[in-house]
Amino acid sequence: MSHVAVIGLGYVGLTMAACLASRRIRTIGVDTDSEKMATLASGRSPIDEPRLEGLISRAVRAKTLQVTQHLGEALRDSEIVFVTVGTPSLPDGSIDLGQVTSASESMGEALREAEGYRLVVVRSTVVPGTCDLTVKPLLEKASGKTCGRDFGLCANPEFLKEGSAVQDMLKPDRLVIGEYDDRSGDVLEKFYRRFYKKDLPTVIRTTPANAELIKYANNAFLATKISFINMMANLCERIQGCDVEKIAEGIGLDQRIGPLFLRAGLGWGGSCFLKDLKAILAFAKGQSIELPILDAALRVNMLQPLWAVQTARKALGSLQGRHVAILGLAFKPDTDDLREAVSVKIIDHLLQDGAIVNAYDPAAMQNARAVFGDKIIYSNTAEECVRDADCCILVTEWKEFQRIQPEDFKRLMRKSVVIDGRRIYDPRKFSARVEFYAVGLGER
Ligand X SMILES: NC(=O)c1ccc[n+]([C@@H]2O[C@H](COP(=O)([O-])OP(=O)(O)OC[C@H]3O[C@@H](n4cnc5c(N)ncnc54)[C@H](O)[C@@H]3O)[C@@H](O)[C@H]2O)c1
- Does residue 102 bind ligand X (CB under 6 A)? yes
Catalytic residue (one of 19, 131, 272, 385): 272
Are the C-beta atoms of residues 396 and 331 closer than 8 Å to each other? yes
Query: What's the CA gap between 120 and 69, in Å, rounded?
Result: 18
Amino acid at 400: E
- Does residue 87 bind ligand X (CB under 6 A)? yes
Task: For 362-386, give one letter per residue: b (16+ CB within 10 A) or e.
Answer: bbbbebbeebbeeebbbbeebeebb
CB of 326 to ligand X, least distance (A): 24
**Residue 270: its H or E element:** none
- Does residue 13 bind ligand X (CB under 6 A)? yes
CA 342, 344, 348, 354 dihedral sign is positive
In 160-288, at which residue ranges do the beta strands (DSSP E only) sit?
A: 174-179, 202-206
- Binding test (CB under 6 A) with ligand X, winner from 17, 85, 119, 236: 85
Closest Cα partner for 346 from 303, 296, 297? Answer: 303
Partner residues linked to 391 by β-bridges: 324, 417
The question of whether 272 is a catalytic residue gets the answer yes
Contacting range for ligand X; rule: CB under 6 A; set: 7-15, 142-150, 283-291, 362-370: 7-15
- Does residue 162 bind ligand X (CB under 6 A)? yes
Cβ neighbours around 257 below 10 Å, total: 15
Are the C-beta atoms of residues 394 and 413 closer than 8 Å to each other? no
Is the Cβ of residue 31 or residue 420 nearer to ligand X in the bound state?
Answer: 31
- Does residue 331 bind ligand X (CB under 6 A)? no
- Does residue 395 bind ligand X (CB under 6 A)? no
Residue nearest to ligand X (CB): 10
CB of 10 to ligand X, least distance (A): 2
CB of 152 to ligand X, least distance (A): 20
CA 91, 278, 422, 396 dihedral sign is negative
CB of 304 to ligand X, least distance (A): 21
Contacting range for ligand X; rule: CB under 6 A; set: 32-40, 111-119, 223-231, 398-406: 32-40
293 Cβ partners below 8 Å, 6+ apart? 224
- Binding test (CB under 6 A) with ligand X, winner from 132, 140, 158, 361: 158
- Does residue 9 bind ligand X (CB under 6 A)? yes
- Does residue 272 bind ligand X (CB under 6 A)? yes
Query: What's the CA gap between 130 and 140, in Å, rounded?
Result: 14
48 Cβ partners below 8 Å, 6+ apart? 335, 336, 363
CB of 202 to ligand X, least distance (A): 18
Contacting range for ligand X; rule: CB under 6 A; set: 78-86, 231-239, 390-398, 432-440: 78-86
- Does residue 103 bind ligand X (CB under 6 A)? yes
- Binding test (CB under 6 A) with ligand X, winner from 4, 5, 6, 10: 10
- What does the per-residue mask of binding to ligand X show for 39-68, with x meaning CB under 6 A? ------------------------------
Query: What's the CA gap between 134 and 85, in Å, rounded?
Result: 15
Closest Cα partner for 401 from 378, 418, 416? Answer: 418
Is the Cβ of residue 55 or residue 413 nearer to ligand X in the bound state?
Answer: 55
Helix axes 208-236, 273-286, angle to 10 degrees: 120
Is the Cβ of residue 275 or residue 349 nearer to ligand X in the bound state?
Answer: 275
CB of 203 to ligand X, least distance (A): 18
- Does residue 124 bind ligand X (CB under 6 A)? yes
**Residue 417: its H or E element:** strand 417-420
- Does residue 27 bind ligand X (CB under 6 A)? no
Ramachandran assignment for 148, one of left (phi > 0), alpha (psi -120 to 50 degrees), beta (any other):
left
CA distances from 151 to 129, 179, 254 (A): 19, 12, 47
Is the Cβ of residue 36 or residue 423 nearer to ligand X in the bound state?
Answer: 36
Partner residues linked to 89 by β-bridges: 95
Contacting range for ligand X; rule: CB under 6 A; set: 100-108, 127-135, 200-208, 382-390: 100-108
- Does residue 212 bind ligand X (CB under 6 A)? no
CB of 422 to ligand X, least distance (A): 20
- Binding test (CB under 6 A) with ligand X, winner from 4, 5, 12, 338: 12
Is the Cβ of residue 26 or residue 332 nearer to ligand X in the bound state?
Answer: 332
- Does residue 11 bind ligand X (CB under 6 A)? yes
CB of 311 to ligand X, least distance (A): 30
Catalytic (active-site) positions? 272
Residues binding ligand X (CB under 6 A): 7-13, 30-33, 36, 84-87, 99, 102-103, 106, 124-125, 158, 160, 162, 271-272
